[in-house]
């Protein structure tokens, strides 16, 4: 029986989270001796992209009614094609909206925010993130049908090319309860939760007018920008950039925190980062205790200088 995976696309284009979910599904399938079948809704990207990460079959759902996202309609569509005992989703906003509805439809167990391949099968047990990153839970599914959502940037994208085939499935799911009025997507901006590097700043920057140097550093690194809670509360930065316990939880390879003291709530959202650099003028800032590298000093001198040095490195 195949392991199914929901390969999310945005406007037809696969997200990194989709490749990560397929990579994860391949690891699960290798445990159970199965193959991976990916499901996508109205993709324009080639299925070759999914074969590369281990999907040997791709089911492309074609449905004009699903042109706009609706959690309920998407769950209905996925339930019509996914007939395996394990269904993997990325833990993105949309996918993690579909997964709980699908779990109820199919009467499956749902384990969200999983970090690693399952520790055991039948019953399926897996490590997941809990307490906003302050702890981990080993969760066991009761019953045989299980839906898993994979925490972004936790398992990683792993190439594992197989030969694959594509099937087009024409559906017409009813999608009358919700209607999209407008859709704004800021182009060219890196998705914070998918970013490999995140440059973040706090109240130590003294005002929104000083964010230019944060963006300069982020640009040189190909990073997304983020901020601490007080900064988004005051309105210096949009709340979509707030990382922490009540904002976004992120897990980039590199997190650079500038002028952030490191309150426990902030750490909760960022301590899954693989490497943490803290730049702060206060040598007593608690964040240094949770950092890999620290620099005590004036951010207004350090950040531009660091930007220049990284620029030089990248040549």
Partner 1 sequence: MKILVCISSVPDTTSKINFTADKSAFDKNGIQWVINPLDEFALTKAVKLQESQGATVTVINVGDATTEPVIRKALAIGANDAVRVNLDPKDSFSTAKEIASVAQNGGYDLILCGKESIDYNGGSVPGMVAQLLNQPFVNASVGLEVNGAEATAVREIEGGKETISVKLPAVFAGQKGLVDEKDLIIPNMRGIMSARTKPLQVVEPVSAEVKVQGVSYDSVPPRAAVKMVSPDNLDELVRLLHEEAKVI
Binding residues among 180-239 for partner 1 as defined by CB under 8 A: 180-186, 189, 191, 193-194, 197, 221, 232-233, 239
Q: How far apart are the first and last CA of the chain?
A: 50
Hey, how many other C-beta atoms are within 10 angstroms of the C-beta on 6? 28
- Figure out which of the listed residues 2, 3, 41, 111 binds partner 1, where binding follows CB under 8 A: 111
> Closest approach of Cβ 22 to partner 1, in Å?
18
> Closest approach of Cβ 177 to partner 1, in Å?
4
- Figure out which of the listed residues 33, 179, 209, 315 binds partner 1, where binding follows CB under 8 A: 179
Running DSSP on this structure, what letter comes out for residue 142? S
Q: Which residue has the tokens 């990916």?
A: 38
Question: Where in 7-26 is the site for partner 1 (CB under 8 A)?
Answer: 10, 15
- Figure out which of the listed residues 254, 258, 260, 270 binds partner 1, where binding follows CB under 8 A: 254
272/47 Cα distance (integer angstroms): 31
- 35/92 with CB nearer partner 1: 92
Counting contacts by CB under 8 A, is residue 176 touching partner 1? yes
- 1/13 with CB nearer partner 1: 13
Burial 44-67 (b: 16+ CB within 10 A, else e): ebebebbbbbbbbbbbbbebeebe
- Token digits of residue 115: 């970090």
Which residues, including other chains, have CB under 8 Å from residue 218's CB and lie 6 or more apart?
197, 199, 224, 225
Alpha carbon of 296 to those of 3, 278, 284, 286, 309: distances in Å?
49, 8, 9, 12, 18
Question: Where in 272-311 is the site for partner 1 (CB under 8 A)?
Answer: 274-278, 288-298, 301-302, 305-306, 309-310
- Figure out which of the listed residues 245, 250, 261, 270 binds partner 1, where binding follows CB under 8 A: 245
Q: Which residue has the tokens 């140097």?
A: 213
- 206/309 with CB nearer partner 1: 309
Which of 313, 281, 310, 307 has its CA nearest to residue 215? 307
CA angle 131, 253, 158 (to 5 degrees): 95
Question: Where in 45-104 is the site for partner 1 (CB under 8 A)?
Answer: 68-72, 75, 91-94, 96-101, 103-104
> Closest approach of Cβ 46 to partner 1, in Å?
21
- Residue 9: helix, strand or coil by DSSP? strand
> Closest approach of Cβ 98 to partner 1, in Å?
8
- 62/189 with CB nearer partner 1: 189
Running DSSP on this structure, what letter comes out for residue 240? G
239/100 Cα distance (integer angstroms): 25
- Figure out which of the listed residues 40, 60, 112, 153 binds partner 1, where binding follows CB under 8 A: 112
Question: Where in 121-150 is the site for partner 1 (CB under 8 A)?
Answer: 125, 127, 129-143
- 58/256 with CB nearer partner 1: 256
- Size of the residue set binding partner 1 (CB under 8 A): 99
């Amino acid at each position: 029986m195949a392991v199914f995976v929901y390969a999310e696309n945005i406007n037809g284009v696969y997200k990194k989270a989709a490749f990560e979910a397929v990579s994860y599904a391949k690891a699960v399938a290798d445990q159970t001796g199965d193959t991976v079948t990916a499901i996508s809704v109205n993709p324009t990207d080639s299925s070759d992209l999914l074969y590369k990460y281990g999907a040997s079959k791709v089911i492309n759902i074609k449905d004009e009614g699903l042109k706009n996202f609706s959690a309920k309609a998407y769950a209905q569509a996925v339930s019509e094609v996914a007939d395996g005992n394990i269904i993997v989703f990325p833990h993105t906003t949309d996918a993690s909206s579909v997964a709980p509805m699908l779990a109820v439809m199919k009467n499956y167990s749902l384990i969200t925010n999983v970090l690693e391949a399952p520790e055991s099968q039948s019953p399926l047990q897996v490590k997941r993130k809990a307490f906003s990153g302050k702890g981990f839970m080993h969760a066991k599914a009761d019953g045989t049908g299980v839906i898993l959502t994979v925490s972004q940037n936790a398992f990683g994208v792993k190439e594992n090319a197989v030969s694959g085939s594509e099937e087009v499935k024409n559906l017409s799911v009813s999608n009358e309860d919700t209607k999209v009025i407008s859709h704004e997507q800021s182009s060219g901006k890196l998705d914070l939760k998918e970013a490999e590097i995140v440059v973040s700043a706090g109240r130590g920057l003294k005002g929104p007018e000083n964010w230019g140097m944060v963006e300069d550093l982020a640009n040189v690194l190909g990073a997304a920008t983020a901020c601490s809670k007080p900064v988004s509360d005051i309105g210096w930065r949009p709340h979509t950039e707030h990382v922490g316990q009540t904002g976004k939880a992120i897990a980039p390879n590199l997190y650079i925190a500038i002028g952030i003291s490191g309150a426990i709530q902030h750490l909760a959202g960022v301590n899954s980062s693989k490497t943490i650099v803290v730049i702060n003028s206060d040598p007593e800032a608690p964040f240094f205790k949770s950092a890999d590298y620290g620099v005590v000093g004036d951010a207004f001198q350090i950040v531009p200088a660091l930007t220049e040095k990284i620029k030089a490195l990248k040549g």
